Amino acid sequence: MRDRIQTKSFLERGGFGLLALVASVVFAFEVLPGLRLLIAALFPGGVLNPDAMLAALSSRAAMNASRATLETALLSTLLALPIGTAMALILGVTHIRKRRIASFLFVLSVMISPQVIALAFLHLAGPASPILNTLGLAPEAGSANPMLGRGGIILVLGLHHAPLVYVVMSAGLKRIPLAVVEAARIDGARPAGILADHVMPLLRPHLVGAALLAFVAGIGNFGIPALLGAPVNYLTLPVLIYRRLSSFGTGMIGDVSALGLLVAAIAIVCVAASQFLTRKDAVHLDDETPLKPFWSLGRARIAAEIFVGAILAATLVLPILSLMASALVPSYGMPLSLATITFDNFTEVLTRQDVTIRAFRNSLLFAGGAALLLSFVVVPVAYGLIRLMGRWRILAVSLLEISYVLPGIVLAIACILLFLKPLPFVQVSLYATPWIIVFAYLARFLSVALKPVLAGMAQIDVAQEEAAAIDGARLAQRLFGIVLPSLLPAAVAGGLMAFLLAFSELTVSALLWSAGTETIGVVLYNLEEAGLASQASAIAIVIVAVVTVAMLALDAMGKYLPEGALPWQCEVEGDVHGQRQALHAPARSAAISRLEPKPAMS
């Protein structure tokens, strides 16, 4: 009853305006694109024709692409799941050294755009590989690059999406109370037994959720199948959609909308199942201390550190070395030596080529502008969701996830459909302008920028706002005087995270760019397609540098952010002996009585 009175008081002081803002944001960026895509698929040419949609979905090309999409997504998930889970367990429950650095580097590998990673692996293998030629290990000239085709796509997708599994599993570990380990230690259990008998059963829903997330990421990935599959005509659904729309133009809108709906349906079902499972069986911490590393490993620590180093080498170090070797030779295929090292490719793409200079400027402006706008809007939206929406908050947050869950190529089609004609009343068209790309970035990365702010908003005590409201402060005064100063670091972090993901993305801008609005992801893809591999590698190295700097800036802000805002954060290594003593301390009976899993609060 008291909560109802508080909510009513807030609404009476201007809450309806804020609710209208939340509803407008959800409708404009999440609901409207999905509705427009559905209408285009069911009403091609403005007439209801479900047969046309069924014909598009049952065509031979669509069936082959669907089969390729499902098998690469499934098999890459089977590779990503054990790698990501093993990394989460080693970095989360053992006392290996430099855990925080390893976590940062592992997550960095997934923050680098997929087309950059695909390009790196493409140049790492094959007869023209600068690294293999330097080592004298290159295959015979004229032989096929082993990264091209089904096997290469599965390998690169699996390695690239393993950090996604790691993030989900690490979050699950942080939700397990330390009292679980304390109680098991009192009963005489060894660390291996604690992990197998107590920790892993509690992680089961997160394991399923991580698998579904990796599968969805594989379904919607465009950059890796485009670079590794399209040259040998092994097409997934996103690549097929791109080919049809880029080859035949808007005349294929009905067909590609139907294909886009198919991809979207698979993605939404998997993500909904993942959220249901992780919420249903999650452990609720209450005031319990979260799980800390409890396994010292002993002599096995060296083996665990070697494993972590090997995974980091495969997912990050080798790809970057491959790109650097390709960028430092005059032309792709030459061995790297002191005689062949040159910086001409960097000079060419950064100072001479108008298209690459313009693409870097466009990406900085589009991604930076979208991130800045998101930083401004996320605080009032988070406040409206947490304080004003009550039980409708779960629905609103789920809707806000739609555009990020949708594969980028599907969102791009929805944006084309929305803005192909001039906007009503103002008669201004956004199609073929920078604004359509900015809109797509806002829709796609809104939920990413919102997550740190929602985490911070949930930790703000409402008592300060109640006191201000009693003194007559209106909602705007409370929002800017009390809430905003507390959430400002989280809003900046959310904006930086959105910039980090948007700067070099390809899946959205591949269909939305036009002459003069090229993004750096598009230019990199076009250079590789044109056979200018060394210049493409130089651009990729610059992209990696920008992403790394953005992540380092976020990491430096970590102490000002709510817990869990950054996916790579883990506890700093402490005194192993002291933690061992704590684990052997008697567990409180009240803590042990609360070890049964409870539904997590929304």
Residue 321 has φ and ψ, to the nearest 5°, of -60, -40
Show Cβ contacts of residue 330 under 8 Å, excluding neighbours closer than 6 positions: 340, 342, 344, 534
Tell me the average pLDDT across 39-43: 80
Q: Structure pTM?
A: 0.83
pLDDT of residue 249: 62
Structure tokens at 559: 């102490």
Domains of the chain: 1-43+342-567 (1.10.3720.10), 53-327+572-602 (1.10.3720.10)
At 586 the three-state DSSP class reads coil
DSSP 149: S
Per-residue confidence (pLDDT) for residue 225, from 0 to 100 = 94
The whole-number average pLDDT for the span 7-19 is 58
**pLDDT tier at 293, thresholds 50, 70, 90:** confident
Residue 459 CA to residue 456 CA, distance in Å, equals: 5
pLDDT confidence of 150, banded at 50, 70, 90?
very high
- Among 253, 266, 290, 277, smallest CA distance to 218 is for 266
135 CB contacts (<8 Å, ≥6 apart)?
Answer: none
DSSP letters for 213-278: HHHHHHHH--HHHHHHTGGGT---HHHHHHHHHHHHGGGGHHHHHHHHHHHHHHHHHHHHHHHHHH
- The burial class, CB within 10 Å (0-12 / 13-18 / 19+), for 219 is buried
Cβ atoms of residues 227 and 293 within 8 Å = no
Q: What is the per-residue DSSP string for 541-552?
A: HHHHHHHHHHHH
Tokens standing for residue 463: 């008592």
Evaluate if residue 488 carries a pLDDT over 50: yes
Q: What is the mean pLDDT of residues 337-344?
A: 87
Picking from 344, 350, 314, 315, the residue whose alpha carbon sits closest to that of residue 327 is 344
Cβ neighbour number for residue 19 with a 10 Å cutoff: 17
Mean pLDDT for the chain?
Answer: 82
Closest CA to 104 of 158, 167, 161: 167
Return the pLDDT at 9. 47
Q: pLDDT tens-digit profile of 211-258?
A: 988 998 898 889 899 999 989 999 998 898 888 887 766 566 777 888
Q: Are 374 and 453 in contact (CB under 8 A)?
A: no
Give the Cα separation of 365 and 372 in Å (integer): 10
Measured CA to CA, the distance from residue 368 to residue 376 in angstroms comes to: 13
| Alpha carbons 534 and 122: distance in angstroms, whole number | 12
562 Cβ contact list (under 8 Å, min separation 6): 452, 455, 456, 458, 459, 490
**Contact between 228 and 149 (Cβ < 8 Å):** yes
If you average pLDDT over each of 338-342, 369-373, 496-500, 563-567, which comes out highest? 369-373
- Return the minimum-mean-pLDDT range out of 386-390, 434-438, 509-513: 386-390
Give 428's DSSP letter: -
pLDDT of residue 364: 93
The conformation of residue 587, written as its DSSP 8-state character, comes to P
User: How confident is the model over 170-184, as pLDDT tens digits?
Assistant: 888 888 888 888 888
